[in-house]
Chain A
Amino acid sequence: MAKFSGTRAHVYLAMMPVWIIVLVALVGSTIWTFVISLTSSKLLPVYKFNFFHQYELLLKLPAWQVAVSNLIVFGLLFIAICLVFGFIMAIMMDQRIRGEALFRTIFLYPYAMSFVVTGLVWQWVLNPGFGIQAAVRGLGFETFTFDWIVQPKRAIYVLVLAAVWQGSGLVMAILLAGLRGVDEDLWKATRIDGIAKWRVYPSIVLPIIAPMAATATVLLAVSVVKAYDLVVALTGGGPGNATEVPAKFVMENLFARQNIALANAGAIMMLVAVVAILVPMYYARRYSAQKAGA
């Protein structure tokens, strides 16, 4: 950078539009959201403040509690399964198999679809009336039952299934890039030492690609917190409230229930959750980078 210090002003000038957008659209909106969450606004913003009253209401609301606990179940399962599947797929792709490009495209393809499409496709596939269940029954297995999507206790796993189908390809792509970055000499060394391949991956390769895995985890975690479109398209939050999530709660209160102060309180709570995930991760990575540097 030092070499270009003379042109710094240009750099800042070029960055100005980005900074303006970030400040106005992101920071500004976040502050406004927070301010409204402290008021008693219903349909339109009114600035009658009652401070943390909405948060008090929100945390006591059974609907919010259900949404949060659903999100935790969904998030943990989704991230864990995606990472495991993605890692296994990446390892399999790393074996210099024939037609790698084809498989990579196939595995990554679901990620190119919007969550709405994913949700609709899986809604049809899993619908007991005309999906897998009906198809297998049509083949003569009259008692075959696969109706998780309409069972209140199972529907959340359907959500995980659809989300994993979409997300694990991305994890594979990221981790595969990491695997390709692993020094070939390391592999040669392990071969000379006679270490089995299945031991090398978890013990030697995984720590090397840990930053990649962390990146994938952050991307997945963020998509968990903002999960909305998938839920709307796949289950609509049902059956009952079995798959309600915070983002859907916020959207519903924002317009349909005309309660924007409560909705914004929910949105701020979601932001707090994201920050709580990202900040420790950021410091952990900086700490390990410093350690590596020293």
Chain B
Amino acid sequence: MKYLALAFATTATTALTAIGAHAQSAEVVHWWTSAAESAGVGVIAHAYDGLGGEWIDQAVAGSDAAKAAAISRMVGGNPPEAAQFSLGADIDNLVDSAVLAPLDQVATADHWADIMPAAVMDAVTRDGHVYGVPIQLQGTNFLFASRDALEKVGAEMPQTWDAFFATGDKLRDAGIIPFAQAGDRDVWFMNTFQAVLASVVGTEGWNEFTGPNGPEFVRTEAFRPVAEIMAKLPSYADVGVSGRQWNITNQMILNGEAGFFIMGGWAIGEIGAAGFTPGEEVLCGVGPNQGPLVVAGDIWAMPAKGDGLTEAQVKLAEVTTSVEVQAAFTAAMGSLPVRSGVDTSGFNACAAAGAASIAEGNSVMALFINFSPEKLGALGSELKVLWVNSDATADDYVETIAGVLENY
């Protein structure tokens, strides 16, 4: 008992000194837990610690669980200094409820409006105030292919959907799964849909789809090929889709078990972490036809603690958007920097293709930016249901997608 009491006393004292000494400690909730991801988040943590702060890591596996943890703590009155959210409509409700601290002082001091793309600034600005620290941008619609698999059937990286399906037929005859689809979360079906949509309808069609006349657009001939491709894709995938995580699916490309895989840039980091060179053993392109890059991103939402930003929050925002951290962080993650002035010459072939698309203006903001989480969730689960329905036709896709756009 005596030892126990002593232990308690020591812990209590340590806790008290901890509060006193580290006024600049920052608790950060995020969902970066895979190998490449934790290396990336380590870059920010290290840089933050280097400035005399103390990074308290609160990694939660899975974006839904991480957001749930952060929101629970905000509701409970004990918010972390920063929490990862997706760029876009994800923070709308938080802003409406006045839970977040405006970041205007940092944004103005560091001239975010000059160094960040306008679309990114729009996505974090509400009523003229900035409410999120952009951390990284990600292309979500890379088409990866196993070089081994393609060489076995004597095929090149396809440049059209027709070529994609023709190669798919050859792969299937050779006993290789043509298309690897992840299926443990609805969002992966959304992701594949976004890739098909962007490659078929291009930038203008994308804006129509996300605009007020979305349902009408879905019923036009311009959208038709999207539905046809979506209806055809499941027959090129294997039966193990349901419940399979994206990184396990990624492995299927790495070991030549499957031919093609559509996934976001985060897979590039994972391919590198597995000891492969993106662009060598694993080929990549933006969609099959170099259509617009579908850009998503991550931000730090900074909950208000007392009045305005705390010193720790300001420091974290500055560190995250600094040139050095952006360069090292995006290199580790396989993602794209949120600001200009970052040296991208060290990028691998896949990430460079993404960066080039953005530079050329050949990019659109992902559906996550405009659509509410509710709408996204509905679309994702409908797409998941259609995927396993082998009788689903292009008409079913058109009606279902138009229905979601109308109802949410």
Contact = CB atoms under 8 A, between A and B. Distances in A.
Given A240-B389, A257-B377, A44 B97 contact: yes
A257 B67 contact: no
A147 B238 CA distance: 12
B302 to A, nearest CB: 16
A142 to B, nearest CB: 13
B239 A44 contact: no
Interface stretch (B215-223, B316-324, B339-347, B379-387): B379-387
B211 interface: no
Given A242-B388, A258-B373, A128 B184 contact: no
A161 B258 CA distance: 31
Contact of A63 (B71, B99, B381, B389): B381
B5 interface: no
Contact of B240 (A63, A129, A242, A252): A129
Interface in B379-404: 381, 384-389
Contact of A241 (B68, B377, B385): B385
Contacts of A235: 242-243
Contacts of A241: 381, 384-385
> Residue among B183, B243, B376 with the most chain A CB within 10 A?
B243
Contacts of B74: 44
Contacts, number: 87
A2 to B, nearest CB: 40
B17 interface: no
A239 B242 contact: yes
Given A236-B185, A239-B388, A255-B68, A43 B240 contact: no
A184 to B, nearest CB: 50
A43 B71 contact: yes
Nearest to B245: A236
Contact of B239 (A46, A147, A234, A242): A147
A30 interface: no
B283 to A, nearest CB: 24
A254 B68 contact: yes
Nearest to B63: A256
A45 interface: yes
Given A255-B67, A259-B374, A128 B240 contact: yes
Interface residues of B, number: 32
Interface string A244-282: 000000001111111100000000000000000000000
Nearest to A43: B93
A44 B384 CA distance: 28
A58 interface: no
Contact of B64 (A45, A238, A255): A255
B99 A240 contact: no
A88 interface: no
A238 B372 contact: no
Contacts of A239: 183, 241-242, 387-388
Given A147-B239, A257-B373, A238 B93 contact: no
A42 B386 CA distance: 27
A152 B388 contact: yes
A127 interface: yes
A42 B90 CA distance: 12
A123 interface: yes
Contacts of A242: 388
B94 interface: yes
A175 interface: no
Interface in B96-119: 97, 99
Nearest to A61: B378
A172 interface: no
A45 B75 contact: yes
Nearest to A123: B243
Contact of A150 (B239, B381, B384): B239
Contacts of A152: 388-389
A253 B376 CA distance: 12
B372 A258 contact: yes
A149 interface: yes
A128 B239 contact: yes
Given A242-B388, A257-B377, 10 more contacts: A44-B94, A45-B75, A149-B242, A234-B243, A235-B243, A236-B183, A238-B388, A252-B64, A255-B71, A256-B373
Interface of A: 42-46, 63, 123, 127-129, 147, 149-150, 152, 155, 234-236, 238-242, 252-259
15 contacts: A42-B93, A43-B93, A43-B97, A44-B94, A128-B239, A129-B239, A150-B242, A236-B183, A240-B388, A241-B381, A255-B68, A256-B67, A257-B378, A258-B372, A258-B374
